Structure 1
Amino acid sequence: MLARSMTLRFFSAAAAGKKVAVLGAAGGIGQPMSLLLKDNDKISHLSLFDVVNTPGVAADLSHCNTRAKVTGHAGMDNIEAALTGMDVVVIPAGVPRKPGMTRDDLFNTNASIVQSLATAAAKYCPNAMLLIIANPVNSTVPIVAETFKKFGVYDPKRLFGVTTLDVVRANTFVAESQGWNPRTTNVTVIGGHAGTTILPLLSHLKLDKKWSDDELHALIKRIQFGGDEVVKAKDGAGSATLSMAYAGARFTSRLLDALAGEKNVVECSYTQNNVTSLDFFSTPVTLGPNGVEEVHSFGKLNAVEQANFDAMLPGRWNVLQLSLQLLIVLFIDLEKQIAKGVEFVHKK
Structure 2
Amino acid sequence: MKAVVLGAAGGIGQPLSLLLKANPAVTELALYDIVNSPGVAVDLSHIATPSKVEGFLPPDDGLKKALTGANVVVIPAGIPRKPGMTRDDLFKINAGIVRDLATGIATTAPKAFVLVISNPVNSTVPIVAEVFKKHGVFDPKRIFGVTTLDVVRASTFVSEILGNRSLSPSVSVPVVGGHSGVTIVPLLSQSSHPLPASLETSALDALINRIQFGGDEVVKAKDGAGSATLSMAYAGAEFAGKVIRAVNGEKGIVAPTFVNLASDKTGGDALKKELGKDLEYFSAPVELGVDGVAKIHGLGKITPAEKVLVEAALPELSANIEKGVAFVEVPKL
Q: 1:192: how far off?
A: 0.1
> What's the % identity of the aligned pairs?
57
TM-score (norm 1): 0.88
2:299 partner amino acid: F
Counterpart AA for 1:171: S
User: Quick check: 2:27–2:52 contact (8 Å CA) kept in 1?
Assistant: yes
2:275 maps to none
User: Match of 2:175, as an amino acid?
Assistant: V
1:102, distance to aligned residue in structure 2 (A):
0.8
- By how many angstroms is 1:343 displaced? 0.3
Query: Given residue 166 of structure 1, which amino acid in structure 2 is its aligned partner?
Result: D
Moved more, 206-215 or 78-87: 206-215
Does structure 1 residue 141 correspond to structure 2 residue 125? yes
| Structure 1 SS opposite 2:98 | helix
Once the two structures are superposed, residues 46-102 of structure 1 have per-residue CA deviations (whole angstroms, 9 ceiling, x without a partner) of 000001110000000000000110000011631110001100000000000000011
What SS class does the counterpart of residue 262 from structure 1 fall into?
coil
* Corresponding residue for residue 187 of structure 1: 173
Runs of 4+ in structure 1 displaced over 3 angstroms?
326-329
Partner of 2:215: 227
SS of the residue corresponding to residue 157 of structure 1 reads coil
Structure 2 gap segments, 5+ residues each:
262-267, 273-277
Alignment of 1:49-198 (within 5 A): 49-75=32-58, 77-180=61-164, 181-198=167-184
SS of residue matched to 2:28: strand
Partner AA of 1:195 in structure 2 = G
Matching residue's letter, 1:25: A
Equivalent AA in structure 2 for residue 105 of structure 1:
D
Asked if 1:262 is matched to 2:241, the reply is: no
Change (3 A) 1:208 1:133: closer
Following the alignment from structure 1 to structure 2, what is the Cα–Cα distance between the partners of residues 297 and 37?
Answer: 30
- Look up the equivalent residue of 1:110 and give its one-letter code: N
Q: Which sits farther off after the overlay, 205-214 or 20-29? A: 205-214
3-state SS in 2 of match to 1:21: strand
Q: What CA distance in whole angstroms lies between the structure 1 residues aligned with 2:234 and 2:301?
A: 31
Aligned counterpart in structure 2 of residue 322 of structure 1, from 302, 306, 323: 306
Does residue 21 (structure 1) correspond to residue 25 (structure 2)? The answer is: no
- Alpha-carbon separation, structure 1, partners of 2:297 and 2:311: 22
Given the alignment of the two structures, is residue 342 of structure 1 paired with residue 328 of structure 2, yes or no?
Answer: no
Amino acid at match of 2:14: Q
What SS does the aligned partner of 1:338 have?
Answer: helix
Choose 203-212 or 65-74, whichever is displaced more: 203-212
Aligned with 2:27: secondary structure?
strand
**For the structure 1 residues 265 and 323, does the alpha-carbon distance in structure 2 shift closer, same or farther, using more than 3 Å as the test?**
closer
Give matches, 1:269-308, under 5 Å.
269-273=257-261, 274=268, 275-276=271-272, 277-301=278-302, 305=304
CA shift at 1:298, angstroms?
A: 1.3
> How much does 1:301 deviate?
4.2
TM-score by length of 2: 0.92
- The structure with the largest alpha-carbon Rg is 1
Distance in structure 2 (CA, Å) of the matches to 1:208 and 1:44: 41
**CA RMSD after TM alignment:** 1.2
- AA partner of residue 58 (structure 1): A
Distance 1:144 1:98 in 2: 24
CA distance in 1, matches of 2:214, 2:302: 27
1:101–1:145 distance in 2 versus 1, CA, 3 Å: same
Does residue 209 of the first structure (1) align with residue 210 of the second (2)? no
* Cα shift at 1:178: 1.1
1:209 match: secondary structure: coil
SS of alignment partner, residue 234 of structure 2: helix
Matched residue pairs, number?
313
